[in-house]
Amino acid sequence: MKTIEYFYAAYSGYAYIGSALFQRIASEGGAKVVHRPFHLRTLVAARGNADRVQDPVYRSYAFRREIERWAEYRGVRTLLRTPTHHHASYETANRMLIACGETDPGTDRLAHAFLEAHWARDADLSDVETIKALADSVGLDGAALQEAAAAPEIGARHEENTAEAIERGFFGSPTYVVDGDVFYGQDRLEMVARALERPFENKWAALS
């Protein structure tokens, strides 16, 4: 069985836009999704992109117009604005996803629930009661997951995922890795589907 490592943050707009299609591609391609939630802001800073992300011209293009166009193209609903609590902490949401399990089907459901609630219904992913209720809504035990998320080993795994994303040279969320081949951004999902069917050649690497 092929695997797709899925590096993302629970509040990521582009992860949301690609979420439903990604899960469908993985299912139809017979692939196992390995969830690797990580701290996106730490990665952005490590790549030296913190200033660019705050630039109003770049933000207007990348986080307004592009979000709007891709949401229309993918057929997903958004708020047509940045969620109210987008800049709050989402670490507990990430840690709940980790606690749910890297390959558990419930993690697929929970990841989509968090992303959709944040971007389509303005849910505050920093609010513990909100994320517990979202977990309950997809058939999980929100209280148990929240308690498990507080464990030191879950926090350590979150830090490990973040460090690995930086070490492997990733740029942001979402990043999909199909048998070692990295695809950054939901706009590469059609290529992810093709990679599951037939790997892309890598002639340049052989010449390096």
Confidence bin at 98 (pLDDT 50/70/90): very high
pLDDT digits (tens, 9 = 90+) for 58-79: 889 989 999 999 999 999 999 9
Span 136-154, average pLDDT: 98
Domain ranges in the chain are 3-207
Tell me the backbone φ, ψ of residue 132, rounded to 5 degrees: -65, -45
**pLDDT score for 208:** 62
pLDDT digits (tens, 9 = 90+) for 28-53: 999 999 999 999 999 999 998 878 88
Tokens of residue 110, six digits = 């929970």
Confidence bin at 95 (pLDDT 50/70/90): very high
Angle between helices 105-121 and 91-100 (to 10 degrees): 160
Fold of 3-207: Glutaredoxin (3.40.30)
**Helix, strand or coil for residue 63?**
helix
Task: Tell me: pLDDT of 207 over 90.
Answer: no
